[in-house]
Structure 1
Amino acid sequence: MPKILSFLLCLSFTITSFVICIDEKEKVLKISTDAATPTGSDFTYICDPVRYAKLKLDIKSFAFCDSKLPYNVRAKDLVDQMTLAEKIAQLGNNADGVARLGLPKYEWWSEALHGLSNVGPGTVFDNLVPHATSFPTVILTAASFNEKLWREIGQVVSTEARAMYNLGRSGLTFWSPTINVARDPRWGRITETPGEDPFIVGTYASNYVRGLQDVAGTEHYKDLNTRPLKVAACCKHFAAYDVDNWHGVDRYHFDARVTEQDLEESFLRPFEMCVKDGDASSVMCSYNRVNGIPSCADPKLLRETLRQEWNLHGYIVADCDSVEVMVTGHKFLNDSNEDAVAQTLKAGLDLDCGAYYPKYLGNAVNQGKVRESNIDEALQNLYIVLLRAGYFDGLPAYKALGKNDICTNRSIELATQVAREGITLLKNDGPTLPLNTATFKTLAVVGPHANSTVAMIGNYAFDPRNPGSPCRYTSPIDGFSTYGKVNYAAGCGDVKCKDASLIPPAVEAAKTADATIIVTGLDLSIEAEGLDRLDLLLPGKQTDLINQVAAAAKGPVILVLMTAGGVDISFAKTNPKIKAILWVGYPGAEGGRAIADVVFGQYNPAGRLPITWYQADYINKLPLTSMQFRPDDSQGYPGRTYKFFNGPTVFPFGFGLSYTKFNYTLNATVPSLSAKLQRFTHCHDLNYMANKTKPTCPAILVSDLQCGEYIELTLVVQNVGGKVGSEVVLVYSKPPDGITGTFLKQLIGFQRVYIAAGASQEVKFVFNGCKSLGIVDNAGNNILPFGGHTIIVGDGVASFPVQVTFHN
């Protein structure tokens, strides 16, 4: 959860007549009402003439309520009618509203990372709406490699959000998703991310954001500043944010020293895709500094990159209390409070999640440190987003949504399906899995996560201090109970498993069971926001539990790992008594059902790891705070992620087994790509290894090319096994040999295909030459290198060369 100030935060829902206060010191939620429980039919929109009549205000005097006018004109009119003090009071997450204009209070902060949650104060659960659908955490969802599924999740979450809004229990602005690249396995927030590959992260981001925001039939508006929004999404945390708290180095003080090459190639790429492809209506800047400058005060990042270069259609918000952190944590330029708010506002920060803007902007204006016009610009960015979301005029398509559209059977089944699609089979000797109910009637289900419920939903789900929970829970022992008789033993008191006193009952259970399932792993006490990991091992006595249970088991042993980050389980991988291993991430509220369905073959797993699982000694080779991706031989640092690390792994990125087998046949390719040079296009130099011959024209800047050339690839994928299943087809590109400092390979495309046993399916890819074959040089330039590139399918199941040439 973002840093929160200690104060009494109150949200007054003017329309529905109830007030919510969160005392952050006492951590208590207090709700008071002075009217009947609101229903969908009671809710109205801001510019409803009936509402203005009840407020005894003349709606005709407020041009911002004239739906015939353009949004920018309406937003300007609203802002122009405010006094300076009224304007400033709207620039914190808990906006005050302006009663004399009929503008109610508005809470900007709601969260929807993998379902609606009560973490942000803008979404409230109570007796009328006690639950919402909880999907698996993002890292497991990403393992499905299923773009369609990612978008569908967003659509379900936004439907529940609009229903909550109609019931007066949420706003329309949701600060999700998290799209930082999982650079290092120790980072505590890997559970929130789509993994280590920038292309996957950006593709997930754009699809999930489209699912949240898109109103059917309006996806391709010419003027994106007027495109309707189902709800407004937010891509965070911008930028180079992936150190939370490691050996005393925390995000409130950390300065991320990043090369222009890594910034362009890895840290910024997902955000560019989120803004350009996803059309995100908001971006959140992060706590950390980037090369000395706090992210939220950097005009190059905010104003130049987000607004001018990428053309953001929306607002920029600070991670909660980031402006305060500039002063108290970073002590940036020894700024006063007024200096800090002036700098961030002028850099392009529109909204402060916190109290610094409302407290200090008035003084900053009076001291001549910032102009009122900067405040006006920020407010107009904010109100245009609310206009697009129907806050002022309503969106008729969603007017009828209400309580019955939350926690539907369809949404619960979708959450279960997402977990099934992400679950990844890492080992299957024999093969042992799937089990069958005829043979395996008694099951020992043991381990600290065997009876897991809350741990399965991860973070940014439901804060147990406040009302609200998933629609229901299905724990692993509940799931396995539908397939056989379960004998449960915890084996450990919790995931930290500090003593061995509970291991013997788990060993005894395994001695008599037809099969033993050990459910272990990590949880938010080990990896979480504000908590980075110190090692890559299972905690405490978990390894002892696994080994002792496996040694004593009568039947086959299946190890189920509930984690976000990778764990070195080499001991289990090589243990012949452990026949199968499944990684299940944090699988959401229906995780127990999904796990059991996979183990007993009701679903054939096809998940693929979205992160590299390193060996335990990896962390001894470089600190978490070293930001580079590329190896540094001078310091003995290995590379990070599959793109730059070529050492031994426990399991590589993209790894995952199936209960069936697939063969690939390369059907058709385009073996060459010729880029046309324009009159003012010049060759760009590129560093080559000393023993390699440098081409006469090594590369061309992508910005100097029209980039209209495409590569086509057609594969036939055949299911040659005996079971129906899905296959994830991964396609990589490799640059010409000899170029120094570039990646080993990079993912450029993927598709998940469902194929019946014995059947085949044609899979076609079309790649843009510049995007798929381009690289970033050490100065941060996007370039297209001359020479022989290679397209690689999967783990080398097929590959072919693509020759890039330039002509006049």
Structure 2
Amino acid sequence: MGADRELRVLSALLLLLLLVQPHVVFSSTPPFACDPSNPSTPDYAFCKSTLPIDKRVSDLVSRLTLDEKISQLGDIAPAIPRLGVPSYKWWSEALHAFPKSYLPRLPSTPGYGIASDRDPRWGRGQETPGEDPMTASKYAVYFVRGLQGDSFRGRRYIASDCDAVALIYGADGYAKSAEDAVADVLKAGMDLNCGDYVQKYAGSAVKEGKLSESEINRALHNLFSLRMRLGLFNASPKHQASGTIFANQICSKEHQDLALEAAQDGVVLLKNTANLLPLARSKVTSLGVIGPNANVGYKLLGNYGGPPCKGITPLGALQTYVGSTRYVAGCDSAVCTSSSIDDAVQLAKSVDYVIMFMGLDQDQEREDLDRVDLVLPGMQQTLVSSVAGASKRPIILVLLSGGPVDITFAKLDGRIGGILWAGYPGEAGGLAIARIIFGEHNPGEASHSLAESYKVEAFYHKPETRGRLPVTWYPQEFTRVPMTDMRMRADAASGYPGRTYRFYTGKPVYRFGYGLSYTTYSYEFEAEAVTSIYLNDSLPLQATANSDIPSYNTASIGSNACGKLKLSAAVSVKNHGPMAGKHPVLLFSRWPSLQHGKPVKQLIGFKSVHLEAGEITKVVFSLWPCRQLSRAMGDGTRVLDGGSHFLVVGEKEHEINIVF
């Protein structure tokens, strides 16, 4: 009797398990929407790819509860297991690239912000193209083209800053409550909030009568329409256009080669006394590597760095060149509050050459963390000087940093023969640095275009400049300037020095655009270069305060007349050897004086040319005076000054006289 009862109970339990089994399986987070193996989804209209998207979205939204609807209004949209809808992450970083490799460089690589790096202490300067507005504008053009491709269909999209909804209540006081803020933005047409602010307060906004469910439905219609357009509700993503992209393609040889190219082209040679670099591999019998940045791979990535495919530290890369390579950290970290100077000194005494890896990391500069000074942190300078004094030969100093560092001591110290700035060069940075040190890549020169090798369509615009500083390297005394004072122009009366190479009147440690090469070049302006430009004397002159120089408002000249002023400037470039290379030529303009807020100089063009050792070639720049020789007045009006203007390449200048 007892056995029969136990059998009936067991049978009932087995039946119950069979009945609930589908629910157990499909109540967990589904791998993708509209899974045909899920018996609950085939009959849903939103899973029928043959129907118009509007009808599919309407069907899906109609099946959601209010709480489920609200849950979809943040950048992390949770799964809705009962309908077989997986979670979705809207917030996907584009990461950053390599500012010191300049533009146009890798236009479709992960990008950085279109912002001017005005202050050397700014922790996010590493995310920008640098301090020059022309470079930033060119970067913006090519980056956007790379994103859009040839068939961009992202019309009618507007994006604003993260946390913007919270700010209009908390910081700005525009809305009276969090519920008012959420209601205001959804009624105004916002669909999605970066973060979870809308998810937190939309429910109470509905309860208080400030927001209707239909207004939430409108936002959801746009959100789910996009996900359906991407094919995310068409069963397995393996059947979609992007379904064949796997990890091995992301980490392909082509992509790893491109990472190496970008890293190499970004390294800047700041000092090379007596041609210490490159080292001859056959003549280096032993190598000492010292520094906290030499053997930690993640420090190469900078902030907002994605997971690397694979990488090698600078120490690991150098060990492949010199078998007898020994390492001492020297400091516990880049902070360098404690230092094993004695160990580093002993190593320096015992090897042929010493390479030090110093600088900064994300503990000194990043988002939400600006620096308070510009010198090397902690005991780094003491360590470098001690090692330099003990080494048999002048040492090589490699700096990792996003922002500039005042290394005047190293620049002037004859015991430090070579200085390289690598920025944060990414996963291939260790190998790139080693290749440059041993002469397998010439800093300041272009790599062979991998775009041509691998037929990468997005690389349609050729590299033009690389291996040059994208920002001014200021001295430590610049820290006296308040970060809250963002005026660009210098003010002699108050001692304000100005900002960026265009307006800074102090003496920089290294100037914007500086960068050496393993070969040398000379420049000469061609004799046929234009010397005078004549403007229509009937045009109205622009009143320029406190200036006896006549100026034209470029808007008054008009686009047609400005176009007719186009001229060419030709520069001959000679490679004096000993290495061939593709050399960047930077063209600046300057005014005779800095009165009335004129820039010190401004970059107006750059091109690169490939030259064999001893070869001479001509580079021609097209110039539009209304755009490239004009300046902005205090109210933003652009004016073209009469009188002398100077074109500058290297140390050579060519005068152009604008005659009214």
TM-score, normalised relative to structure 1: 0.66
Determine if contact 2:165/2:181 at 8 Å carries over to the other structure: yes
Residue 358 in 1 paired to residue 213 in 2? Answer: no
Residue 589 in 1 paired to residue 449 in 2? Answer: no
1:650 paired residue among 503, 509, 513: 509
2:139 paired residue among 182, 201, 204: 204
Residue 489 in 1 paired to residue 475 in 2? Answer: no
Residue 689 in 1 paired to residue 527 in 2? Answer: no
User: What stretches of structure 2 of length at least 5 have no aligned partner?
Assistant: 1-24, 445-466
**Larger deviation: 745-754 or 438-447?**
745-754
Question: Which amino acid is 1:150 matched to?
Answer: L
Name the residue aligned to 2:656. Answer: 801
Change over 3 Å in CA distance of 1:616–1:373 after alignment to 2: farther
2:42 paired residue among 48, 55, 59: 55
1:87-119 Cα distance to aligned partner (Å, 9 max, x none):
6554321235889999764321111314xxxxx
Question: Which amino acid is 2:89 matched to?
Answer: E
Question: Which amino acid is 1:56 matched to?
Answer: D
Identity %: 38
Give the CA deviation at 1:410.
Answer: 1.8
Name the residue aligned to 2:408. Answer: 570
Give the CA deviation at 1:477.
Answer: 1.2
1:153 paired residue among 81, 90, 109: 109
Q: Could you tell me how far apart the structure 2 residues matched to 1:587 and 1:750 are?
A: 23
Change over 3 Å in CA distance of 1:60–1:559 after alignment to 2: closer
1:337 paired residue among 178, 195, 205: 178
Q: Could you tell me how far apart the structure 1 residues matched to 2:87 and 2:535 are?
A: 55
1:559 paired residue among 384, 397, 422: 397
Change over 3 Å in CA distance of 1:703–1:362 after alignment to 2: farther
Larger Rg belongs to: 2
Residues 185-334 of structure 1 mapped to structure 2, 5 A cutoff: 185-214=120-149, 218=150, 227-228=152-153, 313-319=156-162, 321-328=163-170, 330=171, 332-333=173-174
SS of corresponding position for 1:357: helix
Residues 421-500 of structure 1 mapped to structure 2, 5 A cutoff: 421-462=265-306, 469-484=307-322, 485-500=324-339
Change over 3 Å in CA distance of 1:106–1:598 after alignment to 2: same
1:251-274 Cα distance to aligned partner (Å, 9 max, x none):
xxxxxxxxxxxxxxxxxxxxxxxx
Give the CA deviation at 1:670.
Answer: 5.4
Residues 396-795 of structure 1 mapped to structure 2, 5 A cutoff: 398-462=242-306, 469-484=307-322, 485-500=324-339, 502-606=340-444, 607-620=467-480, 622-633=481-492, 635-667=494-526, 669=529, 683=540, 685-690=542-547, 692-695=548-551, 698-701=552-555, 705-706=559-560, 708-709=563-564, 710-734=566-590, 740-781=596-637, 783-788=638-643, 790=645, 792-795=647-650
SS of corresponding position for 2:582: strand
Change over 3 Å in CA distance of 1:730–1:544 after alignment to 2: same
SS of corresponding position for 1:730: strand
Determine if contact 1:318/1:352 at 8 Å carries over to the other structure: no
Give the CA deviation at 1:770.
Answer: 4.0
Give the CA deviation at 1:632.
Answer: 3.8
Determine if contact 1:52/1:102 at 8 Å carries over to the other structure: no
Q: Could you tell me how far apart the structure 1 residues matched to 2:174 and 2:624 are?
A: 44
Change over 3 Å in CA distance of 1:633–1:555 after alignment to 2: closer
Determine if contact 2:47/2:233 at 8 Å carries over to the other structure: no
Determine if contact 1:513/1:555 at 8 Å carries over to the other structure: no
Question: Which amino acid is 1:438 matched to?
Answer: S
Determine if contact 1:734/1:745 at 8 Å carries over to the other structure: yes
Q: Could you tell me how far apart the structure 1 residues matched to 2:521 and 2:213 are?
A: 63
Give the CA deviation at 1:584.
Answer: 0.6
Change over 3 Å in CA distance of 1:380–1:637 after alignment to 2: farther
SS of corresponding position for 2:335: coil
Give the CA deviation at 1:759.
Answer: 2.8
Name the residue aligned to 1:110. Answer: 92
Change over 3 Å in CA distance of 1:59–1:326 after alignment to 2: closer
Q: Could you tell me how far apart the structure 2 residues matched to 1:388 and 1:785 are?
A: 50
Question: Which amino acid is 2:44 matched to?
Answer: L
1:663-716 Cα distance to aligned partner (Å, 9 max, x none):
2243465556677899xxx847442434x2435xx3143795455443433433
1:65-99 Cα distance to aligned partner (Å, 9 max, x none):
538xxxxx899979997999576554321235889
Determine if contact 1:177/1:205 at 8 Å carries over to the other structure: no
Give the CA deviation at 1:751.
Answer: 2.5
1:353-381 Cα distance to aligned partner (Å, 9 max, x none):
11222343566578787899987886677
Give the CA deviation at 1:352.
Answer: 1.4
Determine if contact 1:52/1:59 at 8 Å carries over to the other structure: no
Question: Which amino acid is 1:512 matched to?
Answer: S
Change over 3 Å in CA distance of 1:632–1:377 after alignment to 2: farther
Q: Could you tell me how far apart the structure 2 residues matched to 1:768 and 1:76 are?
A: 51
Determine if contact 1:725/1:755 at 8 Å carries over to the other structure: yes
Change over 3 Å in CA distance of 1:505–1:186 after alignment to 2: same
Change over 3 Å in CA distance of 1:592–1:647 after alignment to 2: same
Determine if contact 2:29/2:79 at 8 Å carries over to the other structure: no
Residue 142 in 1 paired to residue 111 in 2? Answer: no
Give the CA deviation at 1:544.
Answer: 0.6
Determine if contact 1:604/1:726 at 8 Å carries over to the other structure: no
Give the CA deviation at 1:580.
Answer: 1.0
TM-score, normalised relative to structure 2: 0.80
Change over 3 Å in CA distance of 1:574–1:737 after alignment to 2: closer
Give the CA deviation at 1:639.
Answer: 0.5
Q: Could you tell me how far apart the structure 1 residues matched to 2:594 and 2:470 are?
A: 28
After superposition, the CA RMSD in angstroms is 4.0
Change over 3 Å in CA distance of 1:351–1:791 after alignment to 2: farther
1:91 paired residue among 69, 73, 93: 73
Q: How many residue pairs were aligned?
A: 606
1:230-286 Cα distance to aligned partner (Å, 9 max, x none):
xxxxxxxxxxxxxxxxxxxxxxxxxxxxxxxxxxxxxxxxxxxxxxxxxxx6xxxxx
Q: Could you tell me how far apart the structure 2 residues matched to 1:61 and 1:406 are?
A: 31
Question: Which amino acid is 1:410 matched to?
Answer: E
Change over 3 Å in CA distance of 1:777–1:199 after alignment to 2: same
Determine if contact 1:511/1:553 at 8 Å carries over to the other structure: yes
Change over 3 Å in CA distance of 1:101–1:494 after alignment to 2: closer
Q: Could you tell me how far apart the structure 1 residues matched to 2:618 and 2:575 are?
A: 12
Name the residue aligned to 1:66. Answer: 52
Give the CA deviation at 1:789.
Answer: 6.3
Question: Which amino acid is 1:495 matched to?
Answer: A
Question: Which amino acid is 1:339 matched to?
Answer: D
Give the CA deviation at 1:587.
Answer: 1.5
Determine if contact 2:374/2:476 at 8 Å carries over to the other structure: yes
User: What stretches of structure 1 of length at least 5 have no aligned partner?
Assistant: 1-16, 20-31, 36-42, 68-72, 115-137, 155-175, 220-226, 229-280, 282-311, 463-468
Q: Could you tell me how far apart the structure 1 residues matched to 2:393 and 2:227 are?
A: 59
Change over 3 Å in CA distance of 1:543–1:83 after alignment to 2: same
Q: Could you tell me how far apart the structure 1 residues matched to 2:580 and 2:627 are?
A: 34
**Larger deviation: 758-767 or 716-725?**
758-767
